[in-house]
């Protein structure tokens, strides 16, 4: 009897050890709310929305200990619209993320699949648009710099992330076009570097697309992950924030150069705005955009916080100099570590854009364009993470 109990106990130890070496986790974020907009295509609107701050997603992530500090890792994630259950990325089973790779404690992580780019990973967290305390509605005009969370996801990508050395982390990524005889057509590449030590966080990055949206490749138009349909898009960004007590303040600058643009997707709505669009004007030619963002967050209590951001975007387009003022203010109350309510208002005004172009219409991200140069939206929402 004692031998049987000993054998059973030994088996239990080995079983527990095996389970400790491998894990799979189901996770997700649900964001839903009611939005009032003063002008969407000439009309005021009340609507139920999903993903005003961050994409509503569910996913699986896992890790297996291979020994010697080496792990096999993966993530499969799908975004969806809570209103009707539709896919956020049309036609994609795991449109938000789908990758597998190897993680080495001393040498870093190498992953393969559909992923976020290096600049988004490292510079994005310093912006209001990346975080739940600002989110998608606070994104820079047309999400032109790819710094919002869960917006542009890149196919056929190989990404390397270094270990953190004295607060410094490096990332680099290359995404293949997968086209025989047309290697550079719809490819993407970029890199980023960050420094985090104590209250200081700094980061910088670069991202380039070649012929995004041109059939299959790194960024496609079929699932609207190619924000701009253009011959080439280059993005530089740098930012930093500083935390003192319950407050965090940040500054971010980004520069987007979009060559031979043919159109843009209305971020979050899947609406294409281009040369043949009669309701929101046209877009054709080269576009330059500089985004200057200042943001702040303050925790009034462990449960109650307030946050705000202001971005001025200066543009150059076919001899004109359009400019955008985008302001966001949010208050958030946490019922628990996983559930919270928020109230957020966003204001956008554009001036100096050519009449009849897409740029002359204010367009808060995730919403349909205004028929004028101004748009205001207020949303009250509920978030739950699991």
Would you say residue 193 has pLDDT above 50?
yes
302 dihedral zone (left: phi>0; alpha: psi -120 to 50; beta)? alpha
Greater pLDDT, 156 or 358: 156
Segment 269-283 shows an average pLDDT of: 62
Q: In the chain, where does DSSP find H-type helix?
A: 2-21, 118-122
> Under the phi-then-psi rule, with left for phi > 0, alpha for psi from -120 to 50, and beta for the rest, what region is 156?
left
Distances (CA, A) of 196 to 29, 34, 50, 90, 164: 26, 36, 32, 36, 9
Domains and CATH numbers, the chain: 24-385 (2.40.160.10)
Q: How far apart are CA 299 and CA 285, in angstroms?
A: 44
Predicted TM-score (pTM) of this structure: 0.90
Per-residue pLDDT band at 11 (split at 50, 70, 90)? very low
pLDDT in tens, 223-246: 767 788 889 999 999 999 999 999
pLDDT at residue 60, rounded to an integer: 97
| Chain mean pLDDT for the chain | 90
pLDDT of residue 356: 84
What share of the chain in percent tops pLDDT 90? 72
The residue among 181 and 46 whose pLDDT is bigger is 46
Give the pLDDT score at 280.
Answer: 60
pLDDT at 265: 73
pLDDT at 364 over 70: yes
Q: Chain centroid to CA 311: how far? A: 17
The per-residue pLDDT for 135 is: 93
Assign 269 a pLDDT band (cuts: 50, 70, 90).
low
Closest CA to 208 of 177, 233, 184: 233
Q: What is the pLDDT of residues 40-66, one digit of tens each?
A: 989 999 999 988 898 899 999 999 999
Give the 3-state secondary structure of residue 336: coil
For residue 269, how many other CB atoms are within 10 A of its CB?
Answer: 16
Residue with the bigger pLDDT between 188 and 182: it is 188
Q: Give the pLDDT of residue 279.
A: 53
Residue 276 has pLDDT above 70, yes or no: no
Q: Which residues pair with 242 in a beta bridge?
A: 200, 249
pLDDT at 35 over 70: yes
pLDDT per residue as tens digits for the range 81-139: 898 888 887 778 898 999 999 999 999 999 999 999 999 999 999 999 999 999 999 99
Q: What is the pLDDT of residues 299-341, one digit of tens each?
A: 999 999 999 999 999 999 999 999 999 999 999 999 999 999 9
pLDDT of 9 > 80? The answer is: no
């Amino acid at each position: 009897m004692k031998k049987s109990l000993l054998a059973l106990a030994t088996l239990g130890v080995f079983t527990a050890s095996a389970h400790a070496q491998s894990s799979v986790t189901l996770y997700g974020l649900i964001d839903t709310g009611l939005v009032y907009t003063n002008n969407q295509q000439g009309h005021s609107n009340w609507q139920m929305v999903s993903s005003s701050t961050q994409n509503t997603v569910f996913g699986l992530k896992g890790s297996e200990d291979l020994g010697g500090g080496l792990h096999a890792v993966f993530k499969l994630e799908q975004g969806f619209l809570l209103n009707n259950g539709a896919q956020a990325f049309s036609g994609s089973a795991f449109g938000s993320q789908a990758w597998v790779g190897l993680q080495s404690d001393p040498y870093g992580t190498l992953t393969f699949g559909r992923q976020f780019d290096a600049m988004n990973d490292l510079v994005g967290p310093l912006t209001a648009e990346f975080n739940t305390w600002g989110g998608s509605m606070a994104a820079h005009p047309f999400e032109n710099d790819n710094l919002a969370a869960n917006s542009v996801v890149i196919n056929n990508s190989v990404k390397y992330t270094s270990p953190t050395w004295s607060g410094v982390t490096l990332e680099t990524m290359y995404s293949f076009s997968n086209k025989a005889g047309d290697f550079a057509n719809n490819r993407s590449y970029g890199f980023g570097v960050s420094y985090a030590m104590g209250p200081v966080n700094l980061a910088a990055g670069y991202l380039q697309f070649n012929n995004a949206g041109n059939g299959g490749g790194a960024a496609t138009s079929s699932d609207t992950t190619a924000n701009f349909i253009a011959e080439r898009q280059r993005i530089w960004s740098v930012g930093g924030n500083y935390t003192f007590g319950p407050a965090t303040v940040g500054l971010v600058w980004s520069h987007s150069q979009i060559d031979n643009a043919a159109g843009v997707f209305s971020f979050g709505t899947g609406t294409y705005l281009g040369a043949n669009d009669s309701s929101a004007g046209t877009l054709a030619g080269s576009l330059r955009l500089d985004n200057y963002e200042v943001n702040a967050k303050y925790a009034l209590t462990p449960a109650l916080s307030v946050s705000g951001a202001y971005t001025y975007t200066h543009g150059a387009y076919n001899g004109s100099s359009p400019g955008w003022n985008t302001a966001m203010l949010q208050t958030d109350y946490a019922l628990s570590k996983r559930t919270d309510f928020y109230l957020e208002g966003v204001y956008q005004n554009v001036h100096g854009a050519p009449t009849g172009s897409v740029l002359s219409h204010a367009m808060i991200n995730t919403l349909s364009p205004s028929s004028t140069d101004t748009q205001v939206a207020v949303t009250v929402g509920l978030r739950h993470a699991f």
